[in-house]
Amino acid sequence: MKKLYVKTYGCQMNVYDSDRMAQLLRPHGYEMTDAPDDANIAIINTCHIREKATEKTFSEVGRFKKYRAKKRKAGEEGLLVVAGCVAQAEGAEIMRRAPYVDVVVGPQAYHRLPEMIAQAKRSIETFTGNPQVIDTDFPVESKFDHMPLPDSRSSLSSFLSIQEGCDKFCAFCVVPYTRGAEYSRSAAEILKEAEHLVNQGVKEITLLGQNVSAYKVQSPQGGTWGIGALCTEIANIEGLERIRYTTSHPRDMMDPDLIEAHRSCPKLMPFLHLPVQSGSDRILEAMNRKHTAKRYEEVIEVFREARPDMGFSSDFIVGFPGETEEDFEATLELIRKINYAQAYSFKYSPRPGTPAATLDLQVPTNIQDIRLERIQDLLFQQQRDFNNSFVGKTIPVLVEKLGNQKNQCLGKSPHQQSVQIESSHDIVGKIININITDAGLKVLMGRPESGLYVSDKTKI
């Protein structure tokens, strides 16, 4: 078989998409490789969220140019594909500035990738001109209708895309322009994929969406399902142990079914990533978030009442245009009130084509740096405190793989924490009660509960 190399940047959705592209190409004779210089096709799956994403994409494709040239010189197939959100937003510019790129494909056209690659190969083989092929349209048909079911036989945890796109149009965000309008996959289609994953050995499923809490479809029984009803139904799949979902928007969270699912469904993990971006109502309005800090706090309290052990994470942007010291202090105050289990924080950087990129009062970089350091100091301390609160407790851990050290395994807690486990027994693939003995900023450490049976004959 020929070799396929995939380099993935960005969110979990991109990870999911990369896996599906690899599956699409497998029937056409391509198997994965970790060596880019060995690849007959190299795919760079790009992300437009981070700073200077476009320039980083050009830098990356420049690195891969030599691998492509090496294959072509040897008379072998050598194709370079740029996919993802930068491809969607900057497709024509990529083709102009990097004419050695053979295929540019946007996120909604992945099901057409084998056809696009075949078209590029025909152009090369018949010398009919420029082999460049581009597809960044938003097709009427769903790409999911044409993509194979995922292959997750080597993984205990798997992503499952249930929703794409966003209709919120936050002033700083490119997602509505690169992923399109909100689209929810049918419940029947999702349940079929979830059952398929569990039959392959998956124990934990994370439901994905750019705005996953906006999920809404007609149920198989004829009513309407949101993400809460969907989680409850997926929980009925025998063999599935854990359900998660990400990423949510505060405006869509007051779903009674979702709140009840967190209250009564033990398979739905007690952890919620709910981006707020700022604690200042003035900045939230400028961001077009369409919620206030108080409303965000109310959402948190509702979920804490339903599930008292719920842990929360969030996203924060510091230095948004016009942010004053008073605005920044309001964000710090919100963080102190919520007390996060973990969070992600970034300096604001303009995204071409977004409303915020043209706003006046851009905050100087040196002030952004100071504010980012202050917010991270607070968030990291909260994360340390949260992790330290588990020391001396026993928690169920999904043991995912062996560690790098002897007698070490690695797993995941219900609250999404990484756990290093000291054990000489074969516990990979199981959910094991672990006594937590120590904690750091990024990881918990522990050993299996004494007297625990890990098989019919082996007792720890």
Q: Which pLDDT tens digit goes with each residue over 122-139? A: 877 766 555 678 877 766
Local confidence band at 141 (pLDDT 50, 70, 90 cut-offs) = low
Residue-level pLDDT at 140: 52
Convert the pLDDT of each residue in 146-164 to its tens digit. 676 777 666 899 999 999 8
Question: Which CATH architecture is the domain 2-135 placed in?
Answer: 3-Layer(aba) Sandwich (3.40)
Domain map (residue ranges) of the chain? 2-135, 143-388, 394-448
Closest CA to 79 of 67, 63, 90, 87: 67
Residue type, 154: S
Cross-strand pairs, 205:
158, 243
d(CA 289, CA 392): 40
Closest CA to 451 of 428, 432, 438: 432
For residue 422, what is the enclosing H or E element?
Answer: strand 418-422
Convert the pLDDT of each residue in 58-75 to its tens digit. 888 888 888 888 888 887
Instruction: Please provide the average confidence, as pLDDT, over all residues in the chain.
Output: 90
Q: Which residues are CB-contacts of 334 (< 8 A; sequence separation ≥ 6)?
A: 276, 279, 293, 296, 297
Q: Which residues are CB-contacts of 197 (< 8 A; sequence separation ≥ 6)?
A: 150, 152, 158, 160, 205
Assess contact for 45 and 18: CB atoms under 8 A: yes
Q: Does residue 278 surpass a pLDDT of 90?
A: yes
Q: What is the mean pLDDT of residues 329-341?
A: 98
Q: Does residue 459 surpass a pLDDT of 60?
A: no
Q: What is the mean pLDDT of residues 404-423?
A: 95
Q: Does residue 104 surpass a pLDDT of 80?
A: yes
Residue-level pLDDT at 152: 67
State in words which class domain 143-388 has: alpha beta
Convert the pLDDT of each residue in 183-203 to its tens digit. 999 999 999 999 999 999 999
The encoded tokens of residue 380 equal 């990291």
Q: What is the CATH number of domain 394-448?
A: 2.40.50.140
DSSP string, 31-64: EE-S-GGG-SEEEEEE-SSSTTHHHHHHHHHHHH
Per the model's pLDDT, the better-predicted residue between 135 and 235 turns out to be 235
Residue-level pLDDT at 180: 85
- 3-state SS, residue 163: strand
For residue 298, what is the enclosing H or E element?
Answer: helix 293-306
